[in-house]
Amino acid sequence: MPELFLGGRWQAAAGGATREIRCPADGSLVAVVDEGGAEDARAAVAAARRAFDTGPWPHTTAARRGAELLRIASLLERDKADLARAESLDTGKRLVESELDIDDVAACFRYFGELVIEEGDGGRDVDAGSTTVESRVVHEPVGVCALITPWNYPLLQTAWKVAPALAAGNTFVLKPSELTPHTAIHLMRLLAESGLPDGVANLVLGPGPEAGAPLTDHPDVDLVSFTGGLATGRRIMAAAATTVKRVALELGGKNPNIVFADADFETAVDHALTAVFLHSGQVCSAGTRLLVEDSLHDRFVDEVVRRAREIRLGGPFDPAARTGPLISAAHLAEVEAYVAAGLAEGAVLRCGGARPDDPALANGHYYPPTVLDDCTPGMSVVREESFGPVLTVERFTAEDEAVRLADDTVYGLAGAVWTTDPARADRVAARLRLGTVWINDFHPYLPQAEWGGFKQSGTGRELGPSGLAEYRETKHVWRNT
Ligand code: NAD
């Protein structure tokens, strides 16, 4: 069955190209999928434009759109097992993690469905100071949205965009990562099954420069929402500027995990490990920079290293595995290069640092949990996102120094502070230039709370009421009675 979804019809790529999707855990062939390009991207935009300009969807009531989102959430829950399996085969991620991701995907659709039912389209009357004037501010959909997503949380990052885009009444073209297309294809089937009008949801598959870039400077696209790397984000922002589109960017992070000497030792060690080694570090909010108070450093890092050595690598369906492979051979080589550069710049290797020699892992892109100690802020492995299971350790002696080190990065996505002193936790949290600060925790998020970055981690917010506002235009209607 063809896999591009344009104007309510499944189609093969115009150029007839295909791509082999192989599981990163063992190199096995998952499937051969259609590989689209610029012609398909333009056809998808035309379908989305037509559906927006002439279709019923942008004019449906908020209550109807909310009900549609709740229906989609139920379909996602019904298909959870298949979706989780597909996500794990594409990404190599442990099945238990993929199952949690699909729960979060359904919860995201449910949240935006309930929000738009509760709020309606959120207009308000304004007092114009005259009995002959009625003044009202109303919200409308932005138009045609290009939604471009990465491979690390394929369906979850998609849900964070598709759910609010639909809730606000937009039409869209989705371009998922070329490496992990299967759950996006499945989502399109569910959107069609739920009864969305033709052309509201469109799917283009293919590599970024060929299938994604034509969406970002297309005059008929009104908004681009992108999640991915910083370099791609810069290119997309520049391309979108040619037609002054709205742009929302969720980019990378070099997230600090600050541990004071008075922290609860056990919990802080546990979370320091999951912060960075979850999904082999392929998480935008991964706690890759451990900043630890000097007096605690030796005891804390020794324990982190001891436990990191015990983390078992394995494929998605290995129940004993605690983390999985990297997404591709090319990405594995990049992570290795970051570790080599760190060592050349003076970091001390405490564990990991070489591909595993276990023959059972030989066909996958595995890299072990790696801890680099005695790091300094200038090292490339400290400054740049390796997006792998690599923890760098720096020491500090005072609160001011901890904050300065934490903020010494172009990124500002997320980070954590560990201390049993609530006043210090509040002081530090208030000073950090980060979109999310966890106090004595790492990684949790809520669909009701905004997610996004300060500085070069991005612009705009996903989730929460602001995540819906991204997809709305605002119009002032002045009526002279
Ligand atoms: P990437 O930037 O390589 O690709 C992301 C998407 O953009 C893919 O669909 C790709 O095909 C497409 N793309 C590439 N070049 C393009 C172009 N010129 N025009 C249009 N589209 C283009 O990122 P990735 O390697 O897939 O994902 C990893 C990155 O994503 C990391 O940097 C990570 O931090 C970031 N990320 C951020 C968040 C967040 O919430 N801030 C969440 C997840 C991932």
Q: List, for residues 405-449, the tens digit of each pLDDT value.
A: 999 999 999 999 999 999 999 999 999 999 999 999 999 999 999
Cα 396 to Cα 419: distance, rounded to the nearest angstrom: 14
pLDDT in tens, 164-190: 999 999 999 999 999 999 999 999 999
**419 CB-near residues (< 8 Å, 6+ apart):** 260, 262, 263, 425, 428, 440
CB contact set of 354 (below 8 Å; sequence gap of 6+) = 368
Q: How many CA atoms lie within 13 A of 123 on its CB side?
A: 14
Ligand 1 pocket residue status of 175, Cβ below 6 Å: yes
Please give the pLDDT value at position 45. Answer: 98
Ligand 1 site, residue 456, Cβ cutoff 6 A = no
What digits encode the pLDDT tens for the residues 156-165? 999 999 999 9
Q: Is 206 left (phi over 0), alpha (psi -120 to 50) or beta?
A: left
Distance 337 CA to ligand 1 centre (A): 20
Does pLDDT of 122 surpass 90? no
Cα–Cα distance for residue pair 203/188, rounded to 1 Å: 7
* Buried/exposed 127-165: b ≥16 CB within 10 Å, e otherwise: eeeeeeeeeeeebbbbbbbbbbbbbbbbbbbbbbbbbbb
> How far is residue 470 from each of residues 139, 246, 294, 368, 466, measured CA to CA in Å?
11, 9, 43, 39, 6
250 belongs to the catalytic site: yes
Three-state secondary structure call for residue 463: coil
pLDDT (average), residues 386-391: 98
* E strand intervals along 42-143: 124-126, 133-141
Q: Under DSSP, is residue 320 helix (H, G, I), strand (E, B) or coil? A: coil
Compute the distance between CA of residue 409 and CA of residue 454 in angstroms, rounded to an integer.
11
| DSSP secondary structure, 217-243, as one string | S-TT--EEEEES-HHHHHHHHHHHHTT
- DSSP-derived 3-state class of residue 350: strand
**Residue ID of nearest Cα to ligand 1 atom 32:** 229
What is the distance between the alpha carbons of residues 197 and 247, in angstroms, rounded to a whole number?
26
* pLDDT band, very low/low/confident/very high, at 1 (cuts 50, 70, 90): confident
* Residue 162 Cα to ligand 1 middle (Å): 16
Average per-residue pLDDT in the chain?
98
Q: 229 CB under 6 A from ligand 1?
A: yes
Tell me what pLDDT residue 413 has.
98
pLDDT above 90 for 332: yes
Ligand 1, atom 8, residue with closest C-alpha:
177
Q: How far, in Å, is the centroid of ligand 1 from the Cα of 180?
A: 12
Give tens-digit pLDDT for 254-285.
Answer: 999 999 999 999 999 999 999 999 999 999 99
The residue whose CA is least distant from atom 35 of ligand 1 is 228
> Which residue in 169, 177, 195 sits closest to 472, CA to CA?
169
Taking residues 204-219, what's their average pLDDT? 98
Query: How confident is the model over 197-216, as a mean pLDDT?
Result: 98
Percentage of residues of the chain with pLDDT beyond 70? 100
Whether 208 is in the pocket of ligand 1, judged by its Cβ within 6 Å, is yes
Task: Calculate mean pLDDT across residues 327-350.
Answer: 98
- Cβ(413) – ligand 1 distance below 6 Å: yes
- Our answer on whether the CB atom of 250 is closer than 6 Å to any ligand 1 atom is yes
Dist CA 402 CA 419 (whole Å): 12
Name the residue type at position 261. Answer: A
Q: With b meaning 16 or more CB within 10 Å and e meaning fewer, what string describes 257-296?
A: bbbbbebeeeebbebbbbbbbbbbbbbbbbbbbbbbbeeb
Residues 6+ apart with CB under 8 A from 469: none
Atom of ligand 1 nearest to the CA of 458: 41
pLDDT greater than 90 at residue 7: yes
CA-closest residue to ligand 1 atom 30 = 228
Residue that the structure tokens 């073209």 belong to? 173
Name the 3-class secondary structure at 416.
strand
The pLDDT of residue 327 is 98
Q: End-to-end distance of the chain based on CA atoms, in angstroms?
A: 57
In tens, the pLDDT along 66-84 reads 999 999 999 999 999 999 9
Choose, from 35, 87, 97, 250, the residue flagged as catalytic.
250
Binding site membership of 228 for ligand 1 (Cβ less than 6 Å):
yes
Residue 197 has pLDDT above 90, yes or no: yes
Contact 44, 206 (CB under 8 A): no
Overall average pLDDT of the 7-35 stretch: 97
